[in-house]
Copies of this chain bind each other. A is one copy, B any other.
Amino acid sequence: MQYHVNGRLVPAEAATVSVEDRGFLYGDAAFETCRAYGGTVFEWDAHLSRLEGTCETLGMAGAVPDDLRDRIGATLDANGLSDAYVRVSVTRGVQPGKLTPATDVEPSVVVIVKPLPRGEDVWDGPADVRTVERRRIPESAMPADAKTHNYLDGILARLELRGTGADEALVRDVDGAVAEGATSNVFFVDDGTLKTPSLAGPILPGVTRAVVLDLAADLAIPVETGTYGVDAVRTADEAFLTNTTWEVRPIATVDGGAVGGGQVTDRLADAFDRRVEPLYDGSD
């Protein structure tokens, strides 16, 4: 494999950053996880926009290089990949001094790719989800719409799943409302209405979440965003998770109780497929 580091393709084993890079020292970096279908980076504009927004939140507006999409393309080409997982990071780089960021930023820009074929599910099946004690960081402490290398909140949530057999955490906000999974947004269906926590809560505005809401509008599926307790998900007619890698992934169980996908989940998954399929024309 070859990765792209600071403007150059390098063998994966030589793809490194300085131990003084702030992305390493402090997790002081923005990132996006994208997916390429047939060589096209799906929803690139949305990912780029969020990446730029995260950099702005971190006080380094303009750190995203203009040719970032080209760097991704070059990395996919170098590895002969058209269906792939793509992770793009923009860090504040190496700076003199300690914690306070300097205004002059020479970002480190890293593109990592992995083969991710479509057609075979990248997950082993529907998700077993378990409510964890770890809470989502409130907005006043960390802006939820920033996707950064500070990801311990999700890791600590996942650690609680050890030994339970569950593969995604159901994370609540500090008030006890359902927020999201460790790496996914949560949807459920109640009496034909598709429901998902509102972005008024501490919730990452997932790119796949937005696509699913768009598809639901296309399909005239009623949608409600709001504040929900765990019981609403546990007792839902259907439930599923979304993220870039999983796309639409049914939830088999919540805290051991069966929920499962269903008709609405299937319609959205099918509609998602139809949105991806044209990308295989190769017209990026």
Taking Cβ atoms with an 8 Å cutoff, the residues of A that contact B are 3, 5, 12-13, 15-21, 23-28, 31, 57-59, 87, 89, 98-101, 103, 110, 112, 133-138, 140-143, 148-156, 158-159, 161-162, 167, 174, 182-183, 245
Distance, CA A30 to CA B136, complexed state (A): 20
Q: A16-B16, A110-B19 are in contact. Are A58 and B152 (CB under 8 A)?
A: yes
Top 4 A-B pairs, shortest CB-CB distance: A27-B27, A16-B16, A26-B151, A150-B150
Please state the number of chain copies in the assembly: 2
Q: A58-B155, A101-B158, A155-B101 are in contact. Are A112 and B26 (CB under 8 A)?
A: no
Q: A27-B152, A154-B99, A182-B99 are in contact. Are A174 and B141 (CB under 8 A)?
A: yes
Inter-chain contact B101/A151, CB cutoff 8 Å? no
Query: Which residues of chain B have C-beta atoms less than 8 A from A158's C-beta?
Result: 99-101
Inter-chain contact A5/B19, CB cutoff 8 Å? yes
Q: A24-B24, A27-B26, A141-B136 are in contact. Are A99 and B19 (CB under 8 A)?
A: no
Distance, CA A161 to CA B99, complexed state (A): 12
User: Contact partner of A17 among B24, B89, B100, CB < 8 A?
Assistant: B24
Distance, CA A17 to CA B140, complexed state (A): 32
Distance, CA A133 to CA B141, complexed state (A): 9
Query: Which residues of chain B have C-beta atoms less than 8 A from A154's C-beta?
Result: 26, 99
Distance, CA A3 to CA B57, complexed state (A): 32
Q: How far is the CB of A173 from chain B (nearest CB, A)?
A: 9
Inter-chain contact B26/A24, CB cutoff 8 Å? no
Query: Which residues of chain B have C-beta atoms less than 8 A from A5's C-beta?
Result: 19
Distance, CA A182 to CA B57, complexed state (A): 17
Q: A16-B16, A135-B138 are in contact. Are A98 and B183 (CB under 8 A)?
A: yes
Query: Which residues of chain B have C-beta atoms less than 8 A from A143's C-beta?
Result: 156
Q: How far is the CB of A284 from chain B (nearest CB, A)?
A: 25
Distance, CA A215 to CA B209, complexed state (A): 55
Query: Which residues of chain B have C-beta atoms less than 8 A from A156's C-beta?
Result: 57-58, 142-143
Q: How far is the CB of A53 from chain B (nearest CB, A)?
A: 14
Query: Which residues of chain B have C-beta atoms less than 8 A from A3's C-beta?
Result: 19
Distance, CA A171 to CA B2, complexed state (A): 43
Distance, CA A59 to CA B162, complexed state (A): 10
Closest to A151 in B: B26
Query: Which residues of chain B have C-beta atoms less than 8 A from A138's C-beta?
Result: 135, 137-138, 141, 174
Distance, CA A159 to CA B13, complexed state (A): 35
Inter-chain contact B15/A151, CB cutoff 8 Å? no
Q: How far is the CB of A224 from chain B (nearest CB, A)?
A: 26
A-B contact pairs, 28 of them (CB 8 A): A3-B19, A5-B19, A15-B18, A25-B87, A25-B89, A25-B149, A25-B151, A26-B155, A27-B149, A27-B152, A57-B156, A58-B156, A99-B151, A99-B158, A100-B155, A133-B140, A134-B140, A135-B138, A136-B141, A137-B137, A137-B141, A137-B142, A138-B138, A141-B174, A143-B156, A148-B152, A150-B151, A150-B153
